[in-house]
Amino acid sequence: MKKVYIYKGFERFWHFTTGEWRQYIPTRKYLKAQIEFYLTGIFRNAPHPTKKTVLSKLNPLQRLVYLSLKLLVIPVMVTSGLLYMVYRYTGPRHIESFAIFPLEHIALWHVAGAFIVVAFVIAHLYLITTGQTPTSNLKAMITGYEDIEGQ
């Protein structure tokens, strides 16, 4: 059994210098099978439609979700959070406004992003329980390493 690094965190420099960014390129191959597995197959003990390897660590659904988080949700959260933070700031003589967008629009984007992040966390908490034992996936999600059989 070989231990494979599957961490999907904030290692952008490592991703781009080693070519690991290719792990996040979405593919349609097995996407429908992966969705069906998570919706019904997991409850019937169906075999996993994709196998993890050193060269392919993420299944098609993971690729789509992580790429969306990295390119859409996190930038929207950071940008709207910064705009929210500096919307009104203290100038030399009085409170000035940095109002590019109405505050309601900024708040709406920020809250929508927050709901997506919370849903992502809840999904991860659920997926922890779907391994061989209720906590077998917990170690991989915390440490970023997972044992892959047959490698």
Please give the structure tokens belonging to residue 12.
Answer: 């952008």
pTM (predicted TM-score): 0.72
Angle (CA) 71 77 82, round 5°: 120
Per-residue pLDDT of the chain (151 residues; tens, 9 = 90+): 555 455 555 556 666 677 777 777 778 888 888 888 888 888 888 888 888 777 777 888 888 888 899 889 999 999 999 888 877 665 566 655 666 777 888 899 999 999 999 999 998 888 888 777 777 778 777 776 776 665 5
Give me the residue spans of the domains in the chain.
Answer: 2-148
Longest dimension (CA), the chain: 69
Cβ–Cβ < 8 Å for 2, 151: yes
